[in-house]
Amino acid sequence: MTPEVTYTRHEGADAGSAIDAFLPAYEEIYAEPPYLEGPRDVAEFIEHYAVQAERPGMRLVLCHDGQDVVAFSYGYYLAPDTRWWTNLQDVQLPPDQAREDGRRTFVIIELAVRKAWRRRGVAATLHGLILKDVYAERVTLTVRPEPEAAPARLAYQAWGYHRLGTSHPWEDAPLYDCMVRDLQQHPLTNP
């Protein structure tokens, strides 16, 4: 049963200026295992988000319960010079599969729900809204491999994603499972 919540979608500069609205949710969610993020991690997230908010096709979807943001998701189109596919540790994609043109692949960077709101359909609704009107061949995302992230991984698989390989996005980053889903319809209106 879906709770009585509202959703808002923000694009471009509007998405960039909305960080204060969902930062408390981010801090709460990512303090949990397997993330265990502290103040330094949150500060790095704020810096990364400012850069990501400038990416082409940037969109942010927030789920509100009254004034509180209880869940959020954001993403954008991969740029032609992306390192997304070269970050894979255990698979090397053929050049034609790794090629990006700025519209071929939409990446979901975050899809997070506060604990009290999980298993209520909020994540599925966020996923549908973030991909609504996406004109791309595929969508990709990453998920942590630890057992605590198993519910998210199972949801992604139920939504049509498959594991492509292990991603190590930057030097001090943990490992992630990179997942991909082909988008057969353009635009994707009912994921």
Distance of alpha carbon 119 from alpha carbon 82, whole angstroms: 33
Q: Reply yes or no on domain 6-182 having CATH 3.40.630.30.
A: yes
Output b/e per residue, 130-161; b: 16+ Cβ within 10 A. Answer: bbeebebebbbbbbbbeeebeebbebbeebeb
Residue 172 has pLDDT above 90, yes or no: no
pLDDT at 75: 98
Q: Are the beta carbons of 84 and 180 closer than 8 angstroms? A: no
Angle between helices 150-158 and 122-131 (to 10 degrees): 50
What single string gives the DSSP state of each residue in 96-109?
HHH---SSSEEEEE
* Tens digit of each residue's pLDDT (9 = 90 or more) over 91-133: 999 999 999 999 999 999 999 999 999 999 999 999 999 999 9
Model-wide pTM > 0.85 = yes
Average pLDDT along the chain: 92
Higher-scoring residue by pLDDT: 191, 33: 33
Domain residue ranges in the chain = 6-182
Residue 76 has pLDDT above 80, yes or no: yes
Binned at pLDDT 50, 70 and 90, residue 1 comes out as very low
Residue 68 has pLDDT above 50, yes or no: yes
Q: Are the beta carbons of 41 and 31 closer than 8 angstroms? A: no
* Tens digit of each residue's pLDDT (9 = 90 or more) over 126-169: 999 999 999 999 999 999 999 999 999 999 999 999 999 999 99
Distance of alpha carbon 112 from alpha carbon 22, whole angstroms: 10
pLDDT at 170: 87
Look at the block and give the residue holding tokens 């879906």: 2
